[in-house]
Structure 1
Amino acid sequence: MGEEKPKKKKKKAGKRGNNEGTIYERSDGRWTAQVITGYDNLGKPKRKTVYGKGRQEVAEKLKTLLHEIQTGSYVQPTKVIFGDWLLKWLKAYKEPNVKPETYVDYIDLANKHILPRLGDIPLQSIDSITIQEFYNYKGKFGRLDGKPGGLSPRRLHMMHQLINGALMKAVKGRMIRFNPADDIELPSIEHEEFQTFSIDEVNQYLEALQQDRLYALFLLELTTGLRRGEILGIPRDKFNPNKDEIEIVQTLKRKKLDGEEKSQLIFSTPKTKKSKRKIPLLPEVIKQIIKFQATQRQERLFFGPKYRDCGLLFTSEVGTPIEPRNLNRKHYSILQKAELKHIRVHDLRHTVASLLLDDGVNPSNVSDILGHTKTSTTLDIYGHSSTHGKERAIARLGDLLKSAR
């Protein structure tokens, strides 16, 4: 007969206190307790076990655990890493709600910047200091084009939108107790410096354009403040001379899509919901657009089969969309011809906004014309006063003081 095996030490159950669950001593001398923390999709209970050197230690741990369960602050342990969760969040919550090119930008930002440094950290282990140090590093050394320096504050804020958004959703889904990105400090975004034309310079600019094929386009720009992509993407049927208005429903831009080596012209929805808008037109603008359409009809006859009608209001001579960079070239050639200072095409939009606000137009109306979501955005960008505007304000104050005497 073989040697009789020693009997295992019987578990010693301790007296259960109020709301403690069952606490007992294991055969190895440690004390333990187990409690049901929830149920999976199939109704199978999920259990959490706590351990301690003594009964009192386990009782304290169990008390804390039960309190978390009862108050809804308990989170189930998970092995999910932050990178996997971020990509899953982007796919589920961002892809259906943003423009395709915006989603591509988000994925590119995640793959190139966020995942290499934060991706492998367990979701339940990522903390505030790690995220703060990540932003600090990217702000100093984050460029990936081989040039020294860091990412811009605007780029850092965009990354924070993704990281913070994913962590907020993890809190709501009870995957983590709190959002470690809540108290992060980021550099403030300074609005870009831009130049504008005075009203005299606007007239000088238009004078130099008088005989140009695209005079109507630039006149429309300088009376509406449209974004470059908006004015290039206007469908022909959205110009309504009978109602003296034009409707913005899409934009045109050149962009490199995910996985593509070369960029391509793409149509996209406007920047925001408020960017989809109808804008009233001046009679002279309507007249010049109709004149331009007559030119297009002549071009169609001249080029015959080579003419490619893309259905846009403003086109090249052969009916194709106007390349954004070609519009830039045309703009700079006009600046040179008119001997005006160097400003960008987008600064024509800034010019319209600044002239309207300086003339006392209601900021809410200016915001609607520009397609801003909030009037505060308009004031934040254009709230500064021009020298001319300040001079007029002081002169107006002088008139008021004279009338009071």
Structure 2
Amino acid sequence: MPRTKSMGRAANGNGTIRKKTVTKNGKKYSYWEARATVGYDLGTGKQIQRSVTGKTQKEVRQKLSQIVVDLDEGTYIQPSKETVGAWLDTWVDTYVVPNVKPYTADSYRSICENHVKPALGRVRLEQLTTPQIQQFYNKLQREKGLSAKTIKNVHGALHKALNQAVKIGSIRHNPADACDLPKVYQKKSRPWNRKKSPGSWRRFKGTPMNCCSWSLCSPVCGRGRSWALPGTA
């Protein structure tokens, strides 16, 4: 009986691992490479393969196993060369500008241009990590001298941009989720005290404002309550 050629396709995730050697500047370097089938071109029917490399066979095997898991779970994302900077431009123009007021859009764009892109703009979007973002925030505080509130605003913009990237499937998760931000401390307001402001107290004495100044010195009268006092409108 003559042999027949199988027309079936190999299952996604099937891969091969091999050791490769390259020569650079007269020296030979060895590394391991794995190639896995991650899909098929709809037009030609040819296999789409993903290549991963590593220093050891174990490292490459782990990467290959992760690709197989992602394919089985439907979470596999095709590698992209898109950078953080390019995505921020797309995010602002496509998702921010049409949905917010011009002033707000300008604020987001300013944060991206002046803070995020100079530090992280060249990093590939899919390779951006939580430690990279955390180090970025730390430098903004320690080296740039930015306030905790400003860093919080920077985080807000970057976090929203990365959330949108997750929604459209460019990345699996938001690396900014696990970052720690510096605490924002609010100054406590204190009522006016006549003992600590003798000059002001003397100016009020003997005038219609005398009773008001006494009221303002009361512990129960703080900021925002003097509007109800007669003569203070």
TM-score category, normalised to shorter length: 0.5 to 0.7
CA shift for structure 1 position 190: 2.3
CA shift for structure 1 position 161: 0.9
Equivalent of residue 117 in structure 1, options 114, 119, 137:
119
Provide the rounded CA distance (Å) in 2 between the counterparts of 1:59 and 1:81. 27
- Residue in 2 that maps onto 1:156: 151
CA shift for structure 1 position 18: 8.4
Quote the RMSD (CA, aligned, Å): 4.5
**1:12-45 superposed Cα distances (whole Å, 9 cap, x missing partner):** xxxxx987636598999x88644133768x7977
Q: Aligned ranges for residues 2-401 of structure 1 at < 5 Å?
A: 21=14, 23=16, 33-37=35-39, 47-50=48-51, 62-142=64-144, 150-194=145-189, 351=224
Give the match's secondary structure for 1:37.
strand
Distance 1:156 1:45, change over 3 A: farther
For the Cα contact (< 8 Å) 2:39–2:49, is it kept in 1? yes
Provide the rounded CA distance (Å) in 2 between the counterparts of 1:141 and 1:22. 47
| Equivalent residue letter for 1:66 | V
Provide the rounded CA distance (Å) in 2 between the counterparts of 1:120 and 1:52. 22
Give the match's secondary structure for 1:76.
coil
Provide the rounded CA distance (Å) in 1 between the counterparts of 2:117 and 2:20. 45
Distance 1:355 1:127, change over 3 A: farther
CA shift for structure 1 position 191: 2.9
Distance 1:47 1:154, change over 3 A: same
Distance 1:33 1:102, change over 3 A: closer
Give the match's secondary structure for 2:127.
coil
| Equivalent residue letter for 1:170 | A
Provide the rounded CA distance (Å) in 2 between the counterparts of 1:122 and 1:60. 22
TM normalised by structure 2 equals 0.61
| Equivalent residue letter for 2:224 | T
For the Cα contact (< 8 Å) 1:35–1:49, is it kept in 2? yes
Q: How many residues align?
A: 186
Provide the rounded CA distance (Å) in 2 between the counterparts of 1:182 and 1:160. 10
Structure richer in helix, relative to its length: 1
| Equivalent residue letter for 1:181 | A
| Equivalent residue letter for 2:149 | R
Distance 1:179 1:195, change over 3 A: same
Q: Could you list the runs of 5+ residues in structure 1 that have no partner in the other structure? A: 1-16, 143-149, 198-337, 342-349, 357-405
CA shift for structure 1 position 184: 0.6
| Equivalent residue letter for 2:177 | D
Distance 1:33 1:141, change over 3 A: closer
For the Cα contact (< 8 Å) 2:34–2:64, is it kept in 1? no
Over alpha carbons, which structure has the higher Rg?
Answer: 1
| Equivalent residue letter for 1:48 | Q
TM normalised by structure 1 equals 0.37
Give the match's secondary structure for 1:351.
coil
